Structure 1
Amino acid sequence: MLYKKIAKPVLFRMDPEKAHHLTIDGLHTASRLPGGRALLRGMYGVPRYPELETNLWGIRFGNPVGLAAGLDKNAKAVQGFSSIGFGFMEVGTVTPKPQAGNELPRLFRLPEDTALINRMGFNNVGIETMAEHLRQTGRRSIPLAINIGKNKTTPNEQAEEDYRACIRGLYAYGDFFVVNISSPNTPDLRNLQHGDDLSRLLAAVKDEMELQHRKHGGAQKPILVKIAPDLEGDEITYIVRTIADSGVSGIIASNTTISRAGLTHPHKGEAGGLSGKPLTERSTKLIHTVYAAMEGKLPIIGSGGIFTAEDAYAKICAGASLVEVYTALIYEGPGLIRKLNEGLRALLRKDGFKHIAEAVGSAHRR
């Protein structure tokens, strides 16, 4: 209520990107004040619900609702986001070298469609500065994923070197890593989802993860691949099987879409990736297809248009073991995470499930 009545009206009168930076800076500052994290937990934290706890890849997730990549691009507010109820979070996308991204304006709200369009273009501070931010963050209370990409000026033929560099520079700081080959805002990036390019890239990524594991020791860290929601038919099956054959640990479905079907806001013609409610059904269908193609053997993180517990639950029943939000957080505020978790508990009870793992992929068994 506080967010919707006070904060949101102020933020929505501001330029979207300025509001974005104000939010990140504010959360960063709040988490560093004496008692700041405790205050955030008291206001927005999620109680421990054993039926929502998930273990994947040897990692414990206190609840299945995470923060998608793109909001905390530079890992500046990790402690803040860790304190408002998330079960895990992604930072990035980060590239080896800092880059400014695309020209302004590049972020647009579509309130009538409850959506966002962005063409940020992987604007970020680079791996060295992100590593410093994560060093300063110290111990974390939730698992952290690092979303990695290539610099705009790096040709696809050399892309694997950028992904290797990200892993080398940040391996010590992430609990798992996400290969982003599906953003529509870096020229030709989505071409890496196809054919020999995908196989070669994932082989290089797996090799670098093994090298860093031998260097650093400890448990092996998972590597996931984030795919686009605009794939169709046999294309999805081929890409998913290529990903599975590479030996990676899972898939995130999905990134933003280039579709503009059904939009009404004047910004609908802006170039970039669309997120929010228009993506809800499309991403859930993709999860269903991916899960069926892999017969449930490759864990999925579901992302795209989650605003309600029913949205999240549909993705879980379609085959997602975890889910992520981004756009809904902008529209609904930090109280969203608690609402999603409490709603998921009620939906599990309604369907007679004692633990969320029982619901994963249940739509395929009905």
Structure 2
Amino acid sequence: MYPLLRAVLFMFEPERAHALSMAALELVYRLKLSRLLFGRRRSVPVNVLGLTFPNAVGLAAGLDKNGDHIDALAACGFGFIEIGTVTPRAQPGNPKPRVFRLVKDDALINRMGFNNDGVDHLVERVKASKRDCIIGINIGKNLDTPLELAVDDYVRAFQRVYPYADYVTVNISSPNTPGLRDLQHGEQLRQLLHTLKQQQQQLAQQYQRYKPLLVKIAPDLSDDDISDLARTLIDNGIDGAIATNTSNQRPDLTSAAFASEQGGLSGRPIRQQADHVLSVLLRELDGKMPVIAVGGIMSAADAQRKLQAGASLVQLYTGFIYSGPALISSILKEM
């Protein structure tokens, strides 16, 4: 059924297609048809980050930026949903068009720019959800916040979402906010993580519950950069990492019409790149924290390869757009 729906959706420009697909998914959920269409969520529990995940397949941040569709997406079979990226204040993101479909490559390019309705809206949506899966919240800085004040934005967002998240991800790897990736290096990274770790300890005491703190990294880092970053994560007591975000590189694209568009590339073309970063990161972390793998997962074999490499969990984004809920069940059948 999904291939037919996809054919219709792909007739629309990507953001319009996304809005239509989310509306359709909500309708299916509200009519209580999710189980009929997608089947019962497969229970393959896994304990990671001190949390029990119903299964190891999650939705990556970016698809549900505002937390408006948590329950409907969970009904597709995901074991966890990561919402966001959310910023302290609402912002419109970059001018349209800002998403491009590379169908021949099973890929997307996006330069959304953290468009979202702000952290207060997201918190209200999380509070209204049924919470029948693990919910991660991905936080970022506002576009108009200078890089030297970025820590303040992350602290504000972290404090606001902490009571409502099962885990929180620090997004310092989007290619679509100028200068953001500079936070992955050196003193800026150390200062950010040190401050957030202090906040985490204070909030854990305040709410009497410890919420894991993760960092999402880019696929465009050198091996030396990954090594330095891994050391900084360990030194600051970070709980986990997510590898990887979208890529600035354009490896062997067939869809030449969009290859020159600025933004982050996701999907099949970054599979090898994301796998390499995952491998190096796992080696450098040496088992000191779990890693969630995302990037280029278009099949059950792709997911299994990342899990066998040492990832604790996997997340889908572009693969879910191209293959629908069937991809979740096909991955879980192999577990």
Aligning the two structures, in what range does the TM-score lie when normalised by the shorter sequence? over 0.9
Say which of 166, 177, 181 aligns to 1:186: 177
Distance in 1, matches of 2:23 and 2:233, equals: 36
CA contact (8 A) 2:41 2:75 kept: no
Displacement of 1:46: 4.7
Say which of 285, 289, 310 aligns to 1:294: 285
State the aligned residue count: 334
**What is the aligned partner in structure 2 of residue 19 from structure 1?**
17
Deviations 1:304-358 (A, max 9, x none): 010111100111122210000000111111221111111x23xxxxxxxxxxxxx
Displacement of 1:201: 0.3
**What is the aligned partner in structure 2 of residue 42 from structure 1?**
36
Distance in 2, matches of 1:221 and 1:332, equals: 32
CA contact (8 A) 1:85 1:337 kept: yes
CA contact (8 A) 1:150 1:159 kept: yes
Distance in 1, matches of 2:264 and 2:84, equals: 16
Distance in 1, matches of 2:141 and 2:234, equals: 22
**What is the aligned partner in structure 2 of residue 361 from structure 1?**
none
**What is the aligned partner in structure 2 of residue 319 from structure 1?**
310
Distance in 2, matches of 1:264 and 1:321, equals: 32
1:61 paired with 2:53, answer yes
Displacement of 1:215: 1.8
Identity of aligned residues (%): 45
CA contact (8 A) 1:302 1:323 kept: yes
One-letter amino acid of the structure 1 residue matched with residue 282 of structure 2: Y
**What is the aligned partner in structure 2 of residue 30 from structure 1?**
28
Say which of 122, 127, 137 aligns to 1:135: 127
Write out aligned runs for 1:4-153 (5 A): 4-5=3-4, 7-31=5-29, 33=30, 35-36=31-32, 39-49=33-43, 52-137=44-129, 139-153=130-144
Distance in 2, matches of 1:225 and 1:267, equals: 30
Distance in 2, matches of 1:130 and 1:233, equals: 36
CA RMSD of aligned residues (A): 1.2
1:245 paired with 2:240, answer no
In the TM superposition, structure 1's runs of 4+ consecutive aligned residues that sit over 6 Å from their partners are none
Distance in 1, matches of 2:27 and 2:207, equals: 32
Deviations 1:267-305 (A, max 9, x none): 111000000001111111111111111112210000001
Residue 161 and residue 29 in structure 1: after superposition, are their counterparts in 2 closer, same or farther (change >3 A)? Answer: farther
Query: Normalization by structure 1: what TM-score?
Result: 0.89
Distance in 1, matches of 2:42 and 2:267, equals: 28
Displacement of 1:30: 3.4
Query: Normalization by structure 2: what TM-score?
Result: 0.97
Deviations 1:196-232 (A, max 9, x none): 00000011111222222222223x1101000000001
Distance in 2, matches of 1:233 and 1:172, equals: 36
Distance in 2, matches of 1:74 and 1:59, equals: 23
One-letter amino acid of the structure 2 residue matched with residue 105 of structure 1: P
Per the alignment, in what secondary structure is the counterpart of residue 100 of structure 2? strand
Write out aligned runs for 1:225-236 (5 A): 225-236=215-226
| Structure 1 residue runs without a partner (length 5+) | 346-366
One-letter amino acid of the structure 1 residue matched with residue 260 of structure 2: G
Distance in 2, matches of 1:329 and 1:222, equals: 26
Say which of 247, 254, 264 aligns to 1:264: 254
Displacement of 1:247: 0.5
Per the alignment, in what secondary structure is the counterpart of residue 211 of structure 2? coil
Distance in 2, matches of 1:70 and 1:45, equals: 25
One-letter amino acid of the structure 2 residue matched with residue 316 of structure 1: L
Displacement of 1:3: 1.0
Per the alignment, in what secondary structure is the counterpart of residue 226 of structure 2? helix
CA contact (8 A) 2:41 2:78 kept: no
Displacement of 1:47: 4.8
CA contact (8 A) 1:121 1:186 kept: yes
One-letter amino acid of the structure 2 residue matched with residue 84 of structure 1: C
CA contact (8 A) 1:46 1:337 kept: no
